[in-house]
Structure 1
Amino acid sequence: MSLMALTFTIGWLIRKLGWYRLGHSIMTLAMLLLLLAAWAPVADNLLGPLESQYVAWEKWPEEQNIEAVVVLGGGWQPDRPWSITGRLSESSGLRLMEGLRLWHERPDLLLVVSGGGQDPKMTMAHGYAEAAEALGVPPESIVTLVSPNDTAEEAKSVRALLGEGAQVLIVTSASHMPRAMRHFEAAGLAPVAAPTHYLADRTEGLALAYWLPSARELRKTERAIYETLGLLAIQWEH
């Protein structure tokens, strides 16, 4: 949205300077790209390949020697006067729900919850831990990683906790999973993907809403661009 607004503004300025045809073309292109980005067929085709790189876990395979279930940080609002589940963002709530579902099948494992925050006593990890305890996980099974502020730092913190080569089950949004796996592999760990929070292909193709541009579809396109740029950035980070 910001990129298209900037492009439109540049076109308007060029038009004001007297280059009417060029300015008009840039403004028209910006509007067209914005409409396409907010259209479900485009958004789903951009986000779908990222979300489908790793399949969801239905049950624990016997041959996997997992040491911990690791739920990666998302967003939350610690100062809101809501219940603990209400303070978690959509992505965080679904990540934690999937992590708890998998942990309850193997309660002998550690549940590692991650995420920093501006207040060191009210981080994302603290929010996860509070919600997990409210949903039946004993405190002694929960490990909070409160210092990481991005995925690369989360991977390094897990390595410091469990050691190099540890096999861990990574729970995060499906679109974020390819980038998360790269970071954890680069940190010397053996991650296993457990994706959740799918956004693509959630609208029926025959429904009228599927063919009309919307803010929901624009969000998918923004997520796809963000994660693609993140994957490209890893090449310079490691």
Structure 2
Amino acid sequence: MNTVLREILFLLQPLCLVWLLLTAWLLRMLWKRLWRWSLLPVCAWVILTVVTCTALPSWLMAGLESQHELPTMEEMAGADAIICLGGGVEPSFKEPTGMHLMRGADRLATALSMAISGVAPVLVLGGAGYEHEGQYVSEADAVFANLQNYPRLSFEQISLGVCANTRDEALKVADLVEKRGWKKVLLVTSANHMPRAWATFKKAGVPVLPIPCHYMSSFHRVGEVDWLHMPYAGSLELFDSWFHEWIGTRLYQWRGWM
């Protein structure tokens, strides 16, 4: 009974309901042989079906996430700093920790665990700024403010402040590399973002070793891959993330940033 109820509730979700209604409308138009009028609905149905009912978004995402492998401990040895890109935390005035963990929080968890384990003596955090009452609150500053509750942490903490984008983070880190003479830094970011981030940091002159995390593709997660399924909002979100990186890469290449 619980399984049946769960399936019914799933079918009533907005995305699934829209897909069912569009399917019914399209079938009715085809039944009445309204070929010309059904062209646009067919296109809409195909796009929606491919993006939300198939494993194509996961397959595309896996292509990005597979470009960089996690290095060995021997390869990471002697690193001067850990660079964690933003996107995993949002400053919060309500959360007890002062920060709200977002979809990319694996970035922060990975970087913190490495810093606490002594992989490198310095942790550098990037991230965006969030406007509040006319002022910008830094994502990195919110994290480090919370870390002050743990005084026994031995690693140095550096905030990049408010960063406009990945290139801005790369340029600020490049300045630190020049001033401190760093020879090897570990770059932590989502696996799908790593190809663009790694190329951008290399172009800026930063000697980076990629540390990918936050794998989103179902091909890189526990469980079987469902090639066909009912409309799922997670597939739409996955495609959006892949498309964001695809557009971002083309834009960075056009601007000469990577």
TM-score bracket relative to the smaller structure: 0.7 to 0.9
Deviations 1:44-102 (A, max 9, x none): 11100101111234x521575421101101154323411327612131x2111100121
Residue of structure 2 in register with 1:196 after alignment? 213
Residue of structure 1 in register with 2:117 after alignment? 105
Residues 1:22 and 1:67: Cα distance change in structure 2 (over 3 Å): farther
Matches within 5 A, 1:79-158: 79-84=92-97, 87-91=100-104, 93-106=105-118, 109-119=121-131, 122-134=137-149, 138=153, 141-158=156-173
* TM-score, normalization by structure 2: 0.74
Query: Could you tell me which of 41, 44, 47 is aligned with 1:33?
Result: 47
Residue of structure 2 in register with 1:168 after alignment? 185
Helix, strand or coil: the match of 1:73?
coil
- Among the aligned pairs, what percent are the same residue? 25
Question: Which is further off, 181-190 or 26-35?
Answer: 26-35
Instruction: Show structure 2 runs of 5+ residues with no match.
Output: 1-14, 16-21, 23-33
Instruction: Show structure 1 runs of 5+ residues with no match.
Output: 2-7, 9-19
Task: Please state if 1:236 is matched with 2:254.
Answer: yes
Query: Could you tell me which of 187, 206, 224 is aligned with 1:205?
Result: 224
2: distance between equivalents of 1:212 and 1:136?
A: 49
Q: Determine if contact 2:121/2:155 at 8 Å carries over to the other structure.
A: no
Task: Please state if 1:56 is matched with 2:70.
Answer: yes
Runs of 4+ in structure 1 off by over 6 angstroms are none
Count of aligned pairs between the two proteins: 218
- Which residue identity is paired with 2:238? K
CA root-mean-square deviation? 2.9
